[in-house]
Homo-oligomer: A and B are copies of this chain.
Amino acid sequence: MKRSDYIPKATIERLPLYYRCLEKLSAYEQDEVVSSRELGERLGIPPTQVRKDLSYYGEFGRRGVGYHVEDLKKSLAKILGINKTWPAVLVGAGNLGRALVNYEGFQKMGLQITDVIDSDLDKIGNMVGDITVRSTKDLEDIVKTKQVKIGIIAVPVNAAQDVTDLLIAAGIKSIWNFAPTRLVVPEGIMVRNEDLSVGIVSLIYHLSWENE
């Protein structure tokens, strides 16, 4: 597939939004075709931005017509890598861990949490959704046999770095980190921080400055 040499990070963040919007369109709308204008309007993104973003990866639309919903959806799935299923192991069977396992949206995006790990002996053996919580001792075996590349960290801050080290030792390549701390990882390991506190603070920031 064509791909420009440099693609803005911001573009990559918008692609999933386009994808999800197309999913909705293909499920509920009868139109086979959507214009960049309509796609943009639904997402609050200018149409020129939509076209620009897509153009990094090729020509998907037809001038004077628009984009074919199904085709573009398939193309985006391929671009995003969600045309296959990615197994993931989640560490931390607390509230957040349970919420993530039960989160509806992941399956559609290609993520499947196949295993849940916890170090708390009381939690091992419990069910989270339809997954049995297993011990950290099993981690390496799980990662190796299922070829898992993604690890999700949903443990308290003070355990996050230890869990990271365990995951990397077991062979994990990408980490999705929900603990509000910066993880130290070797070259080649990708970390995405999903930092909830940052989100709320920027909301509060705007609230507190808004009358000045």
Listed in ascending order, the chain A residues whose CB lies under 8 Å from chain B are 3, 12-13, 15-17, 19-20, 42-44, 79-82, 84, 86, 94-96, 98-100, 102-106, 108-111, 149-150, 156-157, 173-174, 176, 180, 182, 190, 192, 194-209, 212
Contacts and interface: CB of A to CB of B under 8 A. Distances in A.
19 contacts: A15-B205, A16-B195, A16-B197, A20-B180, A43-B182, A80-B201, A81-B204, A81-B209, A82-B201, A84-B208, A86-B204, A96-B103, A98-B99, A109-B201, A110-B204, A111-B200, A173-B207, A192-B199, A192-B202
Contacts of A208: 80-81, 84
B198 A13 contact: yes
Please give the count of copies of this chain that the complex contains: 2
A169 B202 CA distance: 23
A95 B102 contact: yes
Contact of A203 (B42, B102, B150, B156): B150
A17 B94 CA distance: 24
Given A16-B197, A105-B197, 18 more contacts: A3-B212, A16-B201, A17-B198, A19-B201, A20-B180, A81-B205, A81-B207, A84-B208, A86-B204, A86-B207, A106-B196, A109-B201, A109-B204, A173-B207, A174-B206, A176-B199, A194-B196, A194-B199
A79 B15 CA distance: 33
Nearest to A193: B199
A20 B179 CA distance: 12
A208 to B, nearest CB: 3
Contact of A197 (B20, B156, B174): B20
A103 B209 contact: no
A80 B157 CA distance: 22
B95 A99 contact: yes
B176 A207 contact: no
A24 to B, nearest CB: 8
Contacts of A20: 180, 197
